Each structure stands twice: as C-alpha cells, then as structure tokens.
C-alpha cells in the first residue's frame, strides 16, 4: 500500500519539494495557505470574494503531469492590458472555475483533473482569511503582504474572521497520513496561517503520522531576522499546542560567498544551525547538504529532501545524520 504524505505550506519552497515527492510512489496531499493578499491574488480575492489562488496555482503546476508548454501557459503573467496587467492565467482560470462550480475547492479539483495533478491539493480553508501579526512593541499589522514590510519583530500571528472552518477532506487527510511535513516556506506568512485554522493542529497532533519540519535555509527580512533553526521550531511550538514537530530537516553546508552576497542585498543570511538547542527541545535532527545553487539563488534539493523525508517512514524516531 502506498504511503500517504501530507505537505503543509505555501510559496516557492513548497512547490520545489512537491516536484521531488511526486517522482516517488506515494500518495500526496498538499494543504495550501489562503492568506495571500498581494498582487494578482489580492486583487481577485477582493473583487470576486474568493480565496487567493496564487499559492494554489503554484502547487497545481508543481504536481501537474502535463507538457511543459501547458505549465508555462498556466503560469503566464500578463504584462499589459487594462484589467489584465499583473494577472497570471492560472489565477484567472482558478477564479473562473470557482465561479462555474460555485466553490473554490471544487474549482481546484476540476482543474486538477485538467492538469493531471499527481495528488490532491486542498486549501487550508474554503474562504479567504486575513493574517494579522502582533509585534513585540505591541503594535498590530493586518495583511500577509504587509507584515514583513513593518520592519518589526513578530511576537505572534493570528487569523480573522473567527468562524473559519477547515475542509473535512483536509482533516481526513491529516488523520490518515503516514507522514506530515511542514514547510519549507515563510514561517509566519506561509506555514503558520495553515496551522492557525481551527482543527488543523488538533488533527496533526492526533494523527499517528511521523511529523517533520523542513527549516528554511535563509532568514527572511522583516519576518525571521537573525533566527536560528531552533527559533523557527520554537515559533511553531509557541503557536501550536501539542507535538507537531518530531523531526527537523536542516541544511548542513556552507553557501558560496557569491550567493550569500546576493542574499545580503535582501537583508537575508544563512540560518544558524544550533543543534544542541534543538535536542533540548526534544526534536530529532536530520542534517545533510539539502540545497543547490543556481545563478546564485539558493533552493532546496527536491530529490535529496524527498529521500530524507521518505526515510522517516522506515526509520525510528531518532537523530539521523545522512552524511
């Protein structure tokens, strides 16, 4: 029987990992944030009163089994045109299918069949949510896109409206999973918005699945400045009561000076690996050279990360060093 893997997050990092996982004989479910309020997604959620489609679009493409030209078409972003400028075709198709079916999740399911998606793609909630952050100085910032721009240290994030409900399919997927993976992706604006939907954490905690977190390689300006690996884990634990992280995947290699210099321009630096503190937190550590560099951009190595994740399905819950 194929193992069931549930991956939770949003953004580029999640898509990279899914491209690796889909090459293995596992059943994949991706649970995707609906907190985005910037760009094309922000415009569509405001004008059409639908959940933002951008992160879902990227995940659909990552799991699609179609010709590259179809992927390119789905990701095509219009650079001109009154009302079209800035929109991606995939976002418009998701918006159109939501209108046709009358339901965001049904729209996703329909497009999944068109794209021959390898797995299930589920929004964390079937309605738009608004992400807020309380800063260390007591101020509050509303809007996923505005939080990193505030330039302040984040104390906690929370959602509105109060009556958010998870999809039953999402809870079922978590309860029956063999492996639940958090990340990679923006800690406060891509991963935690999923976990803050009522019922999600409870389903993760009660699940018999192995639970892993893929830590980001680089810090994110305005969000995780100067964060170590353990800081990322502690932020997750502070927001989510119960055992949601048993293992953490950590990149254990130095980046090139050229790459680090490029990220320094974005006020980002390599996340410090503080292994001893992680062990004190009671999480096992999987460390390896988990990244690749291309054109001075740092990305997770999808295949190596996938292999490490799938090894958890066989290995005992203990600290593993793959090198």
Please tell me the total count of domains within the chain.
2
Contact 58, 12 (CB under 8 A): yes
- Answer positive or negative: Cα dihedral of 194, 197, 200, 202: positive
- The C-alpha atoms of residue 62 and residue 15 are separated, in whole angstroms, by 5
- Compute the residue count for the chain: 323
Q: Is residue 78 part of a domain?
A: yes
Query: Are 93 and 163 contained in the same domain?
Result: no
Q: Is residue 42 part of a domain?
A: yes
pLDDT score, position 271: 96
Give the global pTM: 0.94
Query: Are 250 and 129 contained in the same domain?
Result: yes
Query: Are 136 and 252 contained in the same domain?
Result: yes
Domain's final residue, options 89, 121, 153: 121
Query: Are 243 and 131 contained in the same domain?
Result: yes
Q: Is residue 181 part of a domain?
A: yes
Contact 111, 60 (CB under 8 A): yes
pLDDT score, position 315: 62
Query: Are 163 and 186 contained in the same domain?
Result: yes
Tokens of 176: 């029956």
pLDDT score, position 296: 82
Exposure class string for 104-141: b at 16+ Cβ within 10 A, else e = bbebbbbbbeebebbbbbbbbbbebbbbbbebeeeeeb
- The C-alpha atoms of residue 262 and residue 75 are separated, in whole angstroms, by 26
Note down the domain range covering 245. 4-33+124-315
Domain's final residue, options 90, 121, 152: 121
pLDDT score, position 201: 97
Query: Are 182 and 243 contained in the same domain?
Result: yes
Q: Is residue 215 part of a domain?
A: yes
Can you name the residues that pair with 300 across neighbouring β-strands?
291
pLDDT score, position 318: 44
Q: Is residue 281 part of a domain?
A: yes
Cα 278 off chain centre by:
21
pLDDT score, position 135: 98
Q: Is residue 184 part of a domain?
A: yes
What CATH number is attached to the domain comprising 226?
A: 3.40.50.10680
Query: Are 85 and 134 contained in the same domain?
Result: no
3-state secondary structure the chain: CCCEEEEEECHHHHHHHHHHHCCCCCEEEEEECCCCCCHHHHHHHHHHCCCCCHHHHHHHHHHECCCHHHHHHHHCECCCCCCCCCCEHHHHHHHHHHHHHCCHHHHHHHHHHHCCECCEEEECCCCCCEEEEEECCCCEEECCCCCHHHCCCEEEEEEECCCCCCCHHHHHHHHCCCEEEECCCCHHHHHHHHHCCCCHHHHHHHCCCEEEEECCCECCCCCCCCCEHHHHHHHHHHHCCCCCCCEEEEECCCCCHHHHHHHHCCCCCECECCHHHHHHCCCEEEEECCEEEECCEEEECHHHHHHHHHHCCCCCCCCEECC
- The C-alpha atoms of residue 122 and residue 50 are separated, in whole angstroms, by 15
Domain's final residue, options 121, 151, 168: 121
Q: Is residue 134 part of a domain?
A: yes
Q: Is residue 323 part of a domain?
A: no
pLDDT score, position 323: 45
Query: Which parts of the chain sit beneath pLDDT 70?
Result: 315-323
Query: Are 67 and 159 contained in the same domain?
Result: no
Contact 12, 59 (CB under 8 A): no
Query: Are 18 and 93 contained in the same domain?
Result: no
Query: Are 199 and 109 contained in the same domain?
Result: no
Can you name the residues that pair with 32 across neighbouring β-strands?
9, 123
Query: Are 172 and 187 contained in the same domain?
Result: yes
184: cis peptide before it, omega within 30°? yes
pLDDT in tens, 56-87: 999 999 999 999 999 999 999 999 988 899 99
Count of CA atoms in the C-beta half-sphere (13 A) of 10: 24
Query: Are 234 and 302 contained in the same domain?
Result: yes
């Amino acid at each position: 029987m194929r193992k069931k893997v549930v991956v939770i997050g949003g953004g580029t990092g999640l898509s990279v990992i899914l491209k690796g996982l889909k090459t293995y004989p596992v059943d994949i479910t991706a649970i995707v944030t609906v907190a985005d309020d910037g760009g094309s997604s922000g415009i569509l959620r405001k004008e059409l009163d639908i959940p933002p489609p951008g992160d879902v679009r990227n995940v659909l493409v990552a799991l699609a089994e179609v010709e590259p030209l179809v992927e390119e078409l789905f990701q095509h972003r219009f650079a001109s045109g009154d009302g079209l400028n800035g929109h991606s075709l995939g976002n418009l198709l998701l918006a159109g299918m939501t209108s046709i079916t009358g339901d965001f999740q049904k729209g996703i399911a329909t497009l999944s069949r068109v794209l021959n998606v390898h797995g299930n793609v589920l929004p964390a909630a079937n309605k738009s949510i608004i992400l807020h952050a309380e800063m260390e100085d007591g101020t509050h910032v509303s809007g996923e896109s505005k939080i990193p721009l505030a330039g302040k240290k984040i104390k906690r994030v929370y959602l509105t409206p109060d009556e958010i409900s998870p999809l039953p399919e999402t809870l079922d997927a978590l309860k029956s999973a063999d492996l639940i993976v958090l990340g990679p992706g923006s800690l406060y604006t891509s991963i935690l918005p999923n976990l803050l939907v009522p019922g999600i954490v409870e389903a993760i905690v009660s699940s018999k699945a192995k639970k892993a977190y893929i830590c980001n390689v680089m810090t994110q300006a305005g969000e995780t400045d100067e964060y170590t690996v353990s800081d990322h884990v502690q932020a997750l634990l502070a927001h989510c009561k119960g055992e949601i992280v048993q293992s953490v995947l950590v990149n254990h290699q130095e980046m090139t000076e050229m790459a680090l210099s490029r990220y320094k321009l974005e006020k980002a630096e390599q996340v410090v690996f503080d292994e001893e503190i992680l062990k004190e937190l009671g999480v096992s550590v999987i460390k390896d050279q988990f990244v690749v560099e291309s054109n001075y951009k740092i990305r997770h190595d999808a295949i190596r990360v996938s292999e490490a994740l799938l090894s958890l399905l066989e290995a005992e819950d203990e600290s593993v060093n793959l090198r």
